[in-house]
Amino acid sequence: MSNPTNDLPQATEHRLEELEKGLFTSDLSVNEFLLIKEVGFHPVGFVMGSSIYHTGIQTRKWSQSQELTKLTEAMYNARELAMNRMEEEAAELGADGVVGVRLDVNYYEWGKDAAEFIAVGTAVKAEDGVSRLNQLGKPFTSDLSGQDFWTLYQTGYTPQGLVMGTCVYHIAHRGIGQTLGTAGQNIELPNFTQALYEARELAMTRMQDEATRLGASGIVGVRLEEKSHQWGSHTIEFLALGTAVTKTSEEITLIKPTTIISLDN
Amino acid sequence: MSDVSSASSFDLKAEVRRAIAFLDTAVTNSKSMTSDLSIDEELNLHSIGWEPVELVSGVSLFSIPFGCWNWGQGEIDAASTAHAHAFHNAIARIHHDAAQAGGHGVVGVHIERSIHPTHVEVSLVGTAVRPVGARAIEDVNVFVSDLSARDFTMLMVAGWEPLGLATGASFVFAPRRTMGAVLQQQSQNVELTNFTEAMYSAREAAMERMQQAALGMHGTGVVEVKVVEGPMRFATHAVGFVAIGTVVRLVKPLHQLIRPTMVVSLNDRIVAFDAQTLS
Amino acid sequence: MTSAPGDLPEAARRRLDQGAFSSGLSVSDFAACLEMGLEPVGLVQGFCAMQWGNYSMVGGIGRGSTPFGGSQGGYVENYQCPHGMISVEHRMFGQNYEQTWIEDSWREGFTNAYARMIEEAQALGAHGVVGVLDSESSFGEAGVIEFHARGTAVRVLDAPPPTQSPWSTYLAGQRLAKVFEAGYVPVSIVASVASIRVWSSCVTEYLMEGTTGMWSNSTGAVEIDQLVSAQSIARDVARSKVRAQLLGDALHGASLDVVTREFSKGDFEIQSHLSGNRVRRFKDVDPLDVPKPTVRLS
């Protein structure tokens, strides 16, 4: 099953071989483990991918707020590399998908202009043997918890892939107030507002584009994160993340939930 | 048990009065059980016919030779070995403690692990449990796990049993050429492959060692895997990766589905205030 | 309501005689008390200040040159130097020993504070004390530790007046209600402390410094026996002290804390603190069905 063109380190091969022999590992909690079994999936192995990427910028005082496209590309590529490696590990194991994906960033003191991007999750396989690979022929990925995964299946939808869009935006150094001659007043800054609006929209649109490529009908669990990484407060990365889903079952087996009033505190 | 939907005819006030009256009689009828489980956890255990037996612990301190943290290359074997030994010995001690007390396993283990320049310290505390009234068993068959009693209960109901804790650690140096030098030679927007390989490999090595330990216990799988990673406080050029998880095995022929119900809670968020602040 | 007996200070007597109601319970814990048929009757507390700081049993000069004799039946273990060389810096012996005088002082402080809290409860005609909080705090530089115990005194409604000393528990609220439902009745809080002093042997000290080779007698990584021993004993002693107070009852909801202090290089104290609720079974276990698993939508 090993793919000669993948770029996973040596250490990985051995670990994955052991998993293929039948031992499964998972970072799912016991509850999540029981719930994915309920919808007919079995954990295969804990998978991960990482990439240490150059993320430094020249600190210039740009007079205008703008997207720093080279950095946007860098952030995107770094996470893609990490995700791809994680997906490769899952593919090696013959998995149908990866659940509970977490994307983290590590900063090390000995690498000030670089950061490590890590993607981890638990690879799973459908117990009925029917392939659940997505439209691109790859294992699906999703950052849904075991609980959300179970709930999604009850609605007749299945995850296709974790989708993301990113935009690194720089906010002008010259005081906005000074630029507009309005220093000291309490007013809306239309240019400033517009700039941040645009940054978020760019991130969301890029995320939606990814979902379209997967042939998805929608995205669930969308969240928008804003990080300055190590660039100082004038440069922010806007990251939009979500799980693209598709309806696969005509019958919606939505069970009527029980309502409870708990008297516990 | 406090749900409106399951209101019973159980008279709590009468039970409390009966309990208090019992104190007047000087009889004590049980062997001293000690446990750090909460009452919810104990009730979970009782529902599958298990009971807590004794509070148990295990400790180990293992030395690391001087100078092993000086910036070198590749893996820091002495640290990885010390961690493995410290963990192994602490587990063996809590194992022994539990078997002596007549427990069949230990649940809810709190794991405290600290790495110092010259030694690794591991401390474990948990409650030994057993099927109600069961006789003591061999040391080797006692399981040790950081699963909560609730997780233990649900696993058993589904037909699985815990076998023990598996851990794997690897400590490495960041690659020798300082990153600053490397970055100066690279343009932006590029992966730093040497560094990636070093960290990735170390993480994989930790996971692999954990898997080895799990295989050694003849487990079917490992759940609740946690990977803790980061540079050493006292030596930031050295990075440690520790993976730990609970090894489980399917004991019934098939996994038993638990068939959960979906619920919608009608509680609003309760804002509680402390009466003390009024006096 | 009888007048406060014993050695309660004047201020306490006045406060309790007032009959005013104050309680340390949160609203939900208060509600749970009423559900159990327990009526809070007042906030009760006890204090005791103890002199602290007598840590030395043997003076610094004699230390390490002879094996230690022991301290009033407590644990003691000597570690002889394996190197066979005598010099001023190289210690002949290392020692682990139990500081029974520290343990006894702690016991006295805790017991007095607890007893005074119970006295206040008795003065109010309470059956028991719930939601107990106990703490120790040190005062300035003076080497004084103050023990403080407080809780909410409660009376059992529709029950005969108390004939015994009030029972006590750390628990309150729903957790206490479940304890009763599970078939346990609280008897009292119990706590104990074990204090083990470690004077490092030469081997231990070299291992802690990270030196290998000749002086530490090792070729690589080894277990630091002296410290492992001290840590294990500290826990064992705390547990057996608590067990001695249980008198056949069970210990529920225990909490074990271990703290290591270093006085100077190679000179440690390991203090382990175990506390919990002494409870007694008043009816057989009546297990519930396996709880129904649910997935919460909101």
Q: Residue C143: left (phi > 0), alpha (psi -120 to 50), or beta?
A: left
Please report, for residues A133, A141, A229, C81, C255, the alpha-carbon distance to residue A130 in angstroms, rounded to integers and kept in the order given: 9, 17, 42, 69, 50
Q: How confident is the model at residue C25 (pLDDT cuts 50, 70, 90)?
A: confident
Alpha-carbon distance A147 to nearest alpha carbon in chain C (angstroms): 7
Beta strand pairing status for B221-232 and B235-250? antiparallel
Looking at chain A from residue 144 to 173, which residues have their Cβ under 8 Å from any Cβ of chain B?
A: 150-151, 154
Q: How far, in Å, CA of C63 to CA of C74, rounded?
A: 18
Contact criterion met (CB < 8 Å) for C295 and A265? no
CB-CB contact of B140 with B95 (8 Å):
no
pLDDT at C82: 79
Strand order in the sheet with B119-131: B50-63, B119-131, B105-115, B143-144
C207 alpha-carbon distance from chain centroid: 31
C-alpha atoms less than 13 angstroms from C-alpha of C290 in its C-beta half-sphere = 17
Contact residues, A window 87-146, toward B, CB-based 8 Å cutoff? 106, 108-114, 116, 120
Confidence of residue B147 (pLDDT cuts 50, 70, 90): very high
Minimal-distance CA residue of chain B relative to C227:
B61
Q: How many CB atoms lie within 10 A of CB C280?
A: 23
Beta carbons within 10 angstroms of residue C269's beta carbon: 18
Please state the CATH superfamily assignment of the domain spanning residues B34-256 in this structure: Hypothetical protein apc22750. Chain B (3.30.110.70)
CA C152 to chain A, closest CA, distance in angstroms equals: 20
Which two three-digit tokens encode residue A265?
A: 């505190």
Amino acid at C188: S
Encode chain A (265 residues) as per-residue pLDDT tens digits: 334 346 777 778 888 887 877 889 999 999 999 999 999 999 999 999 999 888 777 656 667 778 888 888 889 999 999 999 999 999 999 999 999 999 999 888 777 778 899 999 999 999 988 888 888 888 999 999 888 898 888 888 899 999 999 999 887 765 555 555 656 666 666 666 777 888 899 999 999 999 999 889 999 989 899 888 878 777 889 999 999 999 887 655 566 667 665 544 4
Q: Tell me the pLDDT tens digit for each residue of C92-116.
A: 788 999 999 899 999 999 999 999 9
Exposure pattern of C31-53 as b/e (b: 16+ CB <10 Å)?
Answer: ebbebbbbebbbbbbbbbebebe
Looking at CATH, the fold of the domain delimited by A10-247 is given as Translation Initiation Factor IF3 (3.30.110)
Residues in chain B with CB shorter than 8 Å from the CB of A93 are none
**What CATH number labels C20-51+74-281?**
3.30.110.70
DSSP label at B75? B
Q: Which residue from B143, B110, B146 is spatially nearest to B217, judged by alpha carbons?
A: B143
Q: Answer for the pair B163, A44: CB distance below 8 angstroms, yes or no.
A: no
Task: Dihedral sign for Cα B83, C207, B61, B230, please.
Answer: negative
Q: Which residues of B touch C169 (CB under 8 A)?
A: none
Q: Give the domain ranges of chain B.
A: 34-256
Q: Are B195 and A108 in contact (CB under 8 A)?
A: no
A-interface mutation test, from B5, B12, B188, B266, most A Cβ less than 10 A away:
B188
Subunit contact B260:A78, Cβ cutoff 8 A: no
The residue extents of the domains of chain C are: 20-51+74-281
Cα–Cα distance for residue pair B46/B37, rounded to 1 Å: 12
> What is residue B28's predicted lDDT score, i.e. its pLDDT?
63
Judged by average pLDDT, the poorest of B233-242, C23-32, C184-193 is C23-32
What local confidence, expressed as pLDDT, does residue C71 receive? 57
For residue C296, the chain B residues in CB contact (below 8 A) are 262-265
CA distance A29 to chain C (A): 14
Residues of C in contact with B260 (CB under 8 A): 292-295
Confidence of residue B192 (pLDDT cuts 50, 70, 90): confident
What's the residue count for chain C? Answer: 298
What residues pair up with A103 in beta bridges, in sequence order?
A119
Distances (CA, A) of B96 to B58, B129, B168, B206, C223: 9, 13, 22, 27, 18
What are the sequence ranges of the domains in chain A?
10-247
CA nearest to A163, candidates A108, A218, A233: A218
CB contact under 8 A, B55 and C27: no
User: Considering only CB atoms, which chain B residues are within 8 Å of C36?
Assistant: 12-13, 16
Q: Are the beta carbons of C24 and B35 separated by less than 8 Å?
A: no
Task: Please compute Rg for chain B using Cα positions.
Answer: 25
pLDDT of residue B180: 65
pLDDT band at B210 (very low <50, low <70, confident <90, very high): very high
pLDDT at residue C190, rounded to an integer: 97
Partners of B128 in beta bridges? B54, B106
- A238 phi, psi to nearest 5 deg: -100, 120
What band does C291 get if pLDDT is binned at 50, 70 and 90? confident
Angle at which helix A146-154 crosses helix A30-38, to 10 degrees, equals: 20
Residue A265 sits at the chain B interface (C-beta within 8 Å): yes
Structure tokens at A69: 């496209």
